[in-house]
Amino acid sequence: MNLRLTIKPEDVRDAMPPDRVLLEAAARGMVVAVRRHLREKNDRTPPKNGFPKSNYYAEAADTARGSVADGVAVVEVGPDDPNGPGSGIALHYYGGTVRPKKKALAIPISPAVAGMWPSEATGVGADLAMIWPKNSAHGFLKDNERNELLWLLVPKATIPADPDVLPSDDEVLSAAERAVLPLLEGAS
Amino acid sequence: MTATEALLRKTLVASGLDTAGWSTVQAGLRDRAFFMAEVERVRVLAAARKEAAAILASGKSMSEARRDLRAALRADGYQPGDDERGTIKDLYTKQRLDVMLKTNVAQARGYADYLAATSTGALMAFPAYEFIRVYQRKVPRGDWRVRWDSAAQAVGWQGVARGTSRMVALKTSPIWARLSRFDNPFPPFDFGSGMGLDDVDLTECRRLGLGDEAKAQKPPRVDFNGSLQAEVPVADGSPEAERLRSAFGDQVVFDGNVARWRGNLIRDVLDGELASADIGTGFDGQPLVVSHSALADALTARPDIPDAVPLTLGDFELLPSIWRNPAKIQKAKYNRDHLTLDTLDGGVLNLIVDPDLGVTQFYKLLKK
């Protein structure tokens, strides 16, 4: 007669941490990978000529968050409301065309107005004039008092897709797996 | 909890206290307050919180938030003092608005992330944080290493990695709150700080000598208000209670020997955690108790008031203000008082109070 031991799948499952705990670890692994990737991209991205560094990708990294819902681990990057208007980071990843709500998009061309919309400048009393040469594809907003061109006006802006905004799916999956493994090793 | 929810769980608290003064308020109380140093105007606080929430919830730009907050300040009639104009005390300046918005947004994100990072599974996989520079600054603070060592010493190196140049500690180590100017175990650790956190996995923790402590870590306790900070007993009538009353008036209440914000009580009533709460002394010197049913009614659509617009959280928190200092008082049917107060988002709050029944109606109309 042989000695025989049997293990059923439920025996193994009972020895493992609950699914939710594993998914929390996986979600965190994904968040850590995405955040590190975005921070490294931020470090590599130089500021525009003469402009202060915008830290755009570092700020995006701060919005990265993981959650567990309906039996899956999810990582998101961007504002809390997924249906809201404002995720610039998705635009950078997927690419797309930005069209103005009003007449034109305003792109700062002077460091003095870095991160500032014209409506904010006029709100603090700036005297702005629009200059749009005939038959030109673009125009400018000028500060009359300082006689300085501050914003470039364009009818639209096309952002190319940049898959480097996020780590690859393989990298994210590996990060999730690496996060979960110690929990399995430590299961008793 | 999302970052937006983390922000909105803080109630508006108006006070003339400066930053140093606020830092002496117990963390458990401060944690649940949305405040701006030396700002005593509740409507301004409501507008500021609304803009910070919009940045978190929908990605509103800082520029639009500053623009709209300046418009709210003008609508409130705010003017800086002559010696404040152009300085960080001037609420119109970019410097002041940026510090306020960025700090509140970062704290809300930091808090929400801390809760996620210390969930059971996340804590097992990544038991520690490393304190690193995340944002470059034109003039970085050069003293973080000194602050780290000093904080580690102060907490007896509990959960802190030793014998390494890296600044690593277990997520539940008391060093994080000790390091923080705000007493929080999550970023930001100071105004405008570019320092942040990176998770450290269990393998690395073992290598740094934190393996055993890492295994013993438990997720931090979070109370039903979503607060990490314990409420500290403050006996009514004690010098501490008098100090709080002096700074905050009737915005602070003493509830079973614990100091709480009246605004939090109103929120708890709105959420159904409490059946009712006293919203303070009114224009006529009388207190007013609001019930959950009265506030819940205010949330439902009003077919009898077709021009009514939905009430916001900030509107409910203005209940003490409209009761204490209404813009207009009229007599309504059945000898009820009909009080109104303009909000900074173009609305007019209407509160109708029956001398016997209390609040009978609370609604908002758009200003014509």
Instruction: Tell me: pLDDT of A152 over 70.
Output: yes
Asked if B116 lies within 8 A of A115 by C-beta distance, the reply is no
> What's the ipTM?
0.89
Digit-coded pLDDT (tens) for B98-150 = 999 999 999 999 999 999 999 999 999 999 999 999 998 877 777 899 999 99
Q: Which helix (H) or strand (E) holds B158?
A: none
Asked if A62 lies within 8 A of B106 by C-beta distance, the reply is yes
CA distance linking residue B12 with residue B234, whole number of Å: 21
Q: Model confidence at A188, in pLDDT bands (50, 70, 90)?
A: very low
Asked if A55 lies within 8 A of B136 by C-beta distance, the reply is yes
Instruction: Tell me: pLDDT of A149 over 70.
Output: yes
Strand B11-12 and strand B33-34: the pairing is parallel
Asked if A124 lies within 8 A of B116 by C-beta distance, the reply is no
Q: Model confidence at A186, in pLDDT bands (50, 70, 90)?
A: low
Digit-coded pLDDT (tens) for A125-136 = 889 999 999 999
Chain B neighbors of A17, CB-CB under 8 A:
121, 124
Instruction: Tell me: pLDDT of B208 over 50.
Output: yes
pLDDT of residue B137: 80
Overall average pLDDT of the B346-359 stretch: 92
CA distance linking residue B206 with residue A17, whole number of Å: 21
Distance from CA of A168 to the nearest CA of B (A): 20
How crowded is residue B257: how many other Cβ atoms within 10 Å of its Cβ? 12
CA distance linking residue B208 with residue B161, whole number of Å: 6
Look at the alpha carbons of B111, B114, B119, B120 in this order and tell me if their dihedral is positive or negative.
negative
pLDDT of residue B225: 64
pLDDT of residue A132: 93
Average pLDDT in chain B: 91
Question: Rounded to 5 degrees, what angle do the CA atoms B88, B91, B93 make?
Answer: 60
Chain A neighbors of B215, CB-CB under 8 A:
186
Chain A residue with minimum CA distance to B203:
A182
Digit-coded pLDDT (tens) for A79-112 = 998 776 656 888 899 999 999 988 899 999 999 9
Digit-coded pLDDT (tens) for A61-83 = 999 999 998 899 999 999 998 77
Query: Can you read off the two tokens belonging to residue B344?
Result: 């900074």
**pLDDT over 70, % of chain B:** 98
Instruction: Choose the closest CB to B62 out of A22, A31, A115.
Output: A115
Chain B neighbors of A183, CB-CB under 8 A:
121, 124-125
pTM: 0.90
Chain A neighbors of B92, CB-CB under 8 A:
124
Chain A residue with minimum CA distance to B6:
A80
Give Cα B116 to chain centroid, integer Å: 19
Instruction: Choose the closest CB to B125 out of A55, A85, A183.
Output: A183
Chain A neighbors of B135, CB-CB under 8 A:
55, 58
pLDDT of residue A185: 78
pLDDT of residue A176: 95
Q: Model confidence at B224, in pLDDT bands (50, 70, 90)?
A: low
**Backbone phi, then psi, for B191, in 5-degree steps?**
-60, 130
Instruction: Tell me: pLDDT of B231 over 50.
Output: yes
Distance from CA of B49 to the nearest CA of A (A): 16
Q: How far apart are the first and last CA of chain A?
A: 30
pLDDT of residue B150: 96
Asked if B57 lies within 8 A of A17 by C-beta distance, the reply is no
Asked if A32 lies within 8 A of B199 by C-beta distance, the reply is yes
pLDDT of residue B26: 86
pLDDT of residue B140: 78
Q: Model confidence at A187, in pLDDT bands (50, 70, 90)?
A: low
Average pLDDT in chain A: 89
Digit-coded pLDDT (tens) for B279-320 = 988 999 999 999 999 999 888 877 788 889 989 888 999 999
Asked if A28 lies within 8 A of B121 by C-beta distance, the reply is yes
Size of interface A-B (CB pairs under 8 A): 124
pLDDT of residue B220: 87
Q: Model confidence at A53, in pLDDT bands (50, 70, 90)?
A: confident
Percent helix, percent strand, percent coil in chain B, to nearest 5:
40, 20, 40
